[in-house]
Structure 1
Amino acid sequence: MGMGAVQVFFLLQLWALIDMARCSSLSGLRVELTHVDSNGNFSKFELLQRAALRSSHRVARLTSADGGSGAVVKATDAGSGQVQASVHAGSGEFLMDLAIGTPSLAYSAILDTGSDLIWTQCKPCVRCFLQPSAVFDPSISSTYKKLPCTGELCHALPTSRCAAAFDCKYLYTYGDSSSTQGVLASETFELGSDAKPTAVPGVAFGCGDTNVGNGFSQGAGIVGLGRGPLSLISQLGLGKFSYCLTSLDQSKKSPLLFGSLADLSASEGTVAVQSIPLLKNPQQPSFYYLPLKGITVGGTRLQIPSSAFALQQDGTGGVIIDSGTSITYLEAAAYRQVKRAFLNQVQLRAADGSDVGLDVCFSLPAGASSVTVPKLTFNFDGADLDLPAENYLIADSSTGLLCLTIMGSRGLSIIGNFQQQNLHILYDLKQEILSFVPTQCDKL
């Protein structure tokens, strides 16, 4: 074995020991998430319109990889204006604050449960988008290290090439042809509260000098929270994470919890925690697939064919849960049934929702303070998710519209974050289980 190979071997062993020490000392972590539109002073329907537009781009990406307060909406069992605004396509809906390097540089990154790679823009830029914070300069950080081409994380990249032993160049693409490319490196990341952040050394990330995509400029990069080895949850080695998303029109931040802090016991009340298995798709290993078996509207289980939500052997179809998509998208055969059920059961006149970007809308009666709508339940294998009305219908008295935040898709179905509001959702990667319980997220 030559001297260069010996040096590489011992460096790899040293980094492995550092990684083990990091994982043994870190047991739990809390990070606050900010909605991308929270500081925009938008009305409720402006927020909805912007989220719907971003979601339409987001679902295209994922499937190609396969002010005004409204009326109160009350859910019951069966029987019982156009806005001009600059909207980016969007890679996600929530930002997390972090810092990188020594000395540290603070920035915000888009949280993405649909991908793995952590990356930020780096100097010297070949092609970089405008971002809210300064671009990271690795040349002035004492803790920046390029990762070796022989390492497991370099091999975990979907596309990489090596110009030298410590020069793992990557290309990471997303379904809409947006991409980042640069060098895979390691750095010290600071995560958690501004008052007392937690320093985590040796986090592998993409130092991108060529980054192309319309939706990236909401932050300075992406933090992947998928199921692969490059994602933040995998690198932290804590085995589980949870989040609790506050309501769309609230400015309060949403908690993201890792490890020992990702505990649903604090959210338990009169409603029991429910759990369902997480499914895997070898063709899309980053996604979190769920066993959705059916949908109930107003107490009636819809006649949806079993094939509508099935994960096919070729990797197509199935149902994922995604924090970066606001609208829920259902495969066409299922969506037709849901649309028909709401049009039949909501006793209001149908209205045009194209200005909002939604398909099923109704006209609110003049002066209405409340309306009665059918309950919506997602029937999973092992659990039923009974959604509160505000998680699938949004009413706005200023426009006079009541709109269903569900749309149709082809093949892949996506449970969006509107439907996840005020649910504490736990992803247990070791047990491969997803658990949830209704929670007032702004109080968690």
Structure 2
Amino acid sequence: MSEFSCYSCVLLLVVLGLSAGSCCYGFGTFGFDINHRYSDPVKDFLTVDELPAKGSPEYYSAMVHRDKIIKGRRLATANEQTPVTFLDGNETYRLNGLGFLYYANVSVGSPALSFLVALDTGSDLFWLPCDCSSCVQGLGTPDGQTIDFNIYSPNASSTSSKVPCSSDMCDQQRRCSSSQSNCPYQILYLSNGTSSTGVLVEDVLHLTTNEDKTKAVEAKILFGCGQVQTGSFLNGAAPNGLFGLGMDNISVPSTLANENITSNSFSMCFGHDGIGRITFGDRGSSDQGETPFNLRKSHPTYNVSITQINVGGNAGDLDFSAIFDSGTSFTYLNDPAYTFISESFNNMAIEKRHTSDSSDLPFDYCYELSANQTDFKYPVVNLTMKGGAPFFVGDPIVVVSLKSGDVYCLGIVKSDDVNIIGQNFMTGYRIVFDREKMVLGWKASNCYDIEASNTLPVRPPTAVPPAVAVNPEATAGNGNTSHISGASPPMASQSTKMKTLSYALIVALIPFFALI
């Protein structure tokens, strides 16, 4: 078995043990729950002490380190259908310790085997560890036991078939010895020689309708039989598979739409507590905000245009493009957008700015909180998308625990290339990736009651740091996204009674992998 860090193993084990939720169904929507790897449900389930404390500098440095790696990757008219979900449910889990990605259990093959896969809108190909000579075979638990992973094998599934080089889906035919050879694949990532290599196969992905959980749906899916994983995949990054959600024809949403199982759209809901939902075939609601995608001819991504940034009432007309990427922890902006938003925020901040060397924190704009301070205010951050729809950012700040005391930081990192709207800006929203209308949609949601949250108006929600868990019972239908008429207030309030994040975790959560 490949060796990797104990806490990464433990976190994966937690996700495997968490119960799955449910969702809804039409010309086809399917969903499942998602959870972040450092979320409290994961930590509480295993009672793990090794994880960096939320709010510490280590926590955020880990996230930003991971982001800087992953953001460089090669960004990556139907009948009325019913949404569908994975066989085990539509709940997903945000696992911070495994790269701040969202994970879900998927069932593949006959007989069906379950795999814990990372969900990534920046990648296209779905791959699983398969007859592998180099892959993670299992997880270690705090008490020294080992939980084995399922490893896929085409020979063990009666519904499996290998994809020949003659197939239109085979992109690497130049590596084939003949047209009937098995089609090879290789995906290279930017993180320390990280890659997945193997052959393409087809098998069934087991789904169920959202309306009737007993109604089975089997979708024939093309995916990678990952025989050799290298780099970060052997150290906790997507150790049991990666689920591609990109725009390419080989991605899972594309396949489900091409087979008329679902509409060509899906949604991801990002909960404040690290628990979310993904639903295939979800077209969103009529009152959601929307903006069109900006498609590139080569490797199209979920790229949109932002026309204005408003910080505390100070508006700047800036026209730039940014990618909505679920696999990136924080938001990354180039100049002039970065300078405008950060300096505007700094000019309105009430607390004293924290000064430290570059190794202290990955964020440039942090502010000191006094030992007895119970709450604070910070400037509201709003975006205006192409077409005029507002996108109110619920989580622009993160609270970090330093040895000298708590600070709060503007959760934006300066980028020297691509602009990315990361998971922290998407928290509190149900994001709809509508590839049929070619629009991005969004609506405020608590992710626990999707039907109820569909009716919630969009406004700047009460800010909560990413991955800070709250009581699900307290958030379900709690009305924390109630309507505010007119312009949003220039300042938002934040209580310091929340759990803060640790410095160590920041480093661990930087994006692991990026396609090149």
Q: Structures share a fold, TM > 0.5?
A: yes
Which of 216, 225, 249 is the matching residue for 1:207?
225
Structure 2 equivalent of residue 60 of structure 1: 69
Q: CA deviation at 1:352?
A: 4.5
Secondary structure of the 1:135 match is coil
Q: 1:89 to 1:35 in 2, by over 3 A?
A: closer
Counterparts of 1:27 and 1:361, CA distance in 2? 45
Q: Is contact 2:107-2:206 (8 Å) kept?
A: yes
Q: How does 1:11-410 map to 2 (within 5 A)?
A: 27-38=28-39, 39-41=42-44, 43-45=53-55, 49-50=58-59, 52-63=61-72, 65=74, 90=99, 93-123=101-131, 125-132=132-139, 133-155=149-171, 161-163=176-178, 165-176=180-191, 177-191=193-207, 198-215=216-233, 217-237=237-257, 238-247=263-272, 250=273, 253-259=275-281, 261-264=282-285, 272-285=287-300, 287-302=301-316, 304=318, 306=319, 309=320, 318-352=321-355, 354-388=359-393, 390-395=394-399, 399-410=405-416
Counterparts of 1:443 and 1:34, CA distance in 2? 16
Q: Can you list the C-alpha shifts for 1:63-105, whole angstroms capped at 9, x where unaligned?
A: 2537xxxxxxxxxxxxxxxxxxxx8783x61001101111111
Identity %: 25
Structure 1, unmatched stretches of 5+, are 1-24, 67-86, 266-271, 310-317
Corresponding pairs, count? 374
Q: Can you list the C-alpha shifts for 1:193-220, whole angstroms capped at 9, x where unaligned?
A: 9975844242100001111131554441
Counterparts of 2:214 and 2:365, CA distance in 1? 46
Q: Is contact 1:158-1:172 (8 Å) kept?
A: no
Secondary structure of the 2:218 match is strand
Q: 1:26 to 1:182 in 2, by over 3 A?
A: farther
Secondary structure of the 2:254 match is helix
Counterparts of 2:398 and 2:229, CA distance in 1? 36
Q: Can you list the C-alpha shifts for 1:347-390, whole angstroms capped at 9, x where unaligned?
A: 111115754532221111332222121111112111343435x5
For 1:115, the aligned partner's letter is S
Secondary structure of the 2:158 match is coil
Q: 1:386 to 1:229 in 2, by over 3 A?
A: closer
Which of 417, 430, 444 is the matching residue for 1:411?
417
Counterparts of 1:212 and 1:385, CA distance in 2? 42
Q: CA deviation at 1:175?
A: 3.6
Counterparts of 1:423 and 1:160, CA distance in 2? 43
Q: CA deviation at 1:131?
A: 4.5
Give the TM-score of the pair, scaled to structure 2: 0.66
Counterparts of 1:217 and 1:59, CA distance in 2? 15
Secondary structure of the 1:425 match is strand
Moved more, 416-425 or 195-204: 195-204
Q: CA deviation at 1:112?
A: 0.7
Counterparts of 2:221 and 2:251, CA distance in 1? 10
Give the TM-score of the pair, scaled to structure 1: 0.76
Secondary structure of the 1:437 match is strand
Secondary structure of the 2:70 match is helix
Q: Is contact 1:95-1:219 (8 Å) kept?
A: no
For 1:188, the aligned partner's letter is V
Counterparts of 2:73 and 2:327, CA distance in 1? 15
For 2:406, the aligned partner's letter is G
Structure 1 equivalent of residue 142 of structure 2: none
Q: CA deviation at 1:257?
A: 0.9
Q: Is contact 1:274-1:383 (8 Å) kept?
A: no
Q: 1:397 to 1:37 in 2, by over 3 A?
A: closer
Q: CA deviation at 1:163?
A: 4.8
Counterparts of 1:159 and 1:346, CA distance in 2? 57
Aligned CA-pair RMSD: 2.9
Q: Is contact 1:97-1:191 (8 Å) kept?
A: no
Q: Which has the higher contact order (CA 8 A, sep 6+)?
A: 2
Q: 1:415 to 1:120 in 2, by over 3 A?
A: same
Counterparts of 2:407 and 2:338, CA distance in 1? 21
Structure 2, unmatched stretches of 5+, are 1-25, 45-50, 76-95, 140-148, 258-262, 451-516
Q: 1:429 to 1:294 in 2, by over 3 A?
A: same
Q: Can you list the C-alpha shifts for 1:264-283, whole angstroms capped at 9, x where unaligned?
A: 36xxxxxx421100111124
